[in-house]
Structure 1
């Protein structure tokens, strides 16, 4: 199910047919090096199921990013939701072959628009490894405000923190 489109990409609800393509991203040590590390392959199915449930429950989630010209899943982007949709975390991960082509920026803009149209989101948070200057640049370009550095227990590291507030 497609939830948002641009000229080059489509965001769709993740499903189990996406597992192999998602595994190439989330289980790839190089891709996930600055995002807390690679995810064990045996966890991918459960994570996809969790994101499907998030979409059903909240109307927002993490989505497959499909390159329209090739039909390939080139990344994932969307929201981690813990308690409510008022304050959510945005994430994006892409295949290395898609880096530097503007897909992450395009996907994050799509996600911001979806959150705005959702109506209940008040704040979007983002964090980035202190060495992930490309992600920090995207956040600042899209008007996320730098909040400082914060320790994250899940990644066991200090990260740059950004915030985007809806008026």
Structure 2
């Protein structure tokens, strides 16, 4: 399979990469948390549900040619959560998603990962106008979307709640021709 985006992206503190089987245990710190899952999947997951969800993220790469990355902290080697491209069949549009276990909140990891994904989308998926699809009560994610330049577009009903669509900026035409070259 040829992917539409790199399968690995590095930042100062993070490696964004495809998930491997052993990542599910670290990822379960996110999916087993009441606080972390409140506005996303709506409840903590069992270990089996976390494993199956991780497998769906791996499969997303195979079907769409892009997908969610595992967020690995370079210093510890731990997977902190996920960030990347996400477009399930019931979503309104392809999105940039992020989700971190609570132990890693407030340390800039989510914004660092989301900015890297946003730039990757601008560079490799310029034909897709990416959104972030956020529960209207998820104020932390709304603040992050705004901080990285996404603009509120509309509120829509989804799965029994109100959700916001935030549209991410696209690369400007003048930057497109000069931002990177393929040799």
Q: Tell me whether the two structures share a fold, i.e. TM-score over 0.5.
A: yes
Q: Which residue matches 1:67?
A: 73
Return 72-81 or 101-110, whichever deviates more.
72-81
Residue in structure 1 matched with residue 167 of structure 2 by the alignment: 163
Please state how far the C-alpha of 1:43 moved relative to its aligned partner: 2.3
1:119 is the counterpart of 2:125: yes
- Specify the structure having the higher radius of gyration (Cα): 2
Extract unaligned runs of 5+ from structure 1. Answer: none
**Matches of 1:68 and 1:79, distance apart in 2:** 21
Choose between structure 1 and 2: higher strand proportion: 1
Check whether the contact 1:122–1:165 (CA below 8 A) recurs between aligned residues.
Answer: no
Show structure 1 runs of 4+ deviating over 3 A.
Answer: 56-59
Q: Is the 8 A contact 2:149 2:169 kept in 1?
A: no
SS at the partner of 2:80? strand
- Note the C-alpha offset of 1:36: 3.6
Q: Which runs of 5+ in 2 are unaligned?
A: 1-5, 173-183
Q: What is the TM-score with the length of structure 1 in the denominator? A: 0.86
Q: Is the 8 A contact 2:131 2:165 kept in 1?
A: yes
Query: Which residue of 19, 22, 46 corresponds with 1:17?
Result: 22
Correspondence 1:88-167 to 2 at 5 A: 88-119=94-125, 121-153=127-159, 156-166=160-170, 167=172
How much has 1:52 moved relative to structure 2? 1.5
| Corresponding pairs, count | 162
Q: Does structure 2 retain, via aligned residues, the 8 Å contact 1:29–1:38?
A: yes
What value does the CA root-mean-square deviation take over the aligned residues?
A: 2.1
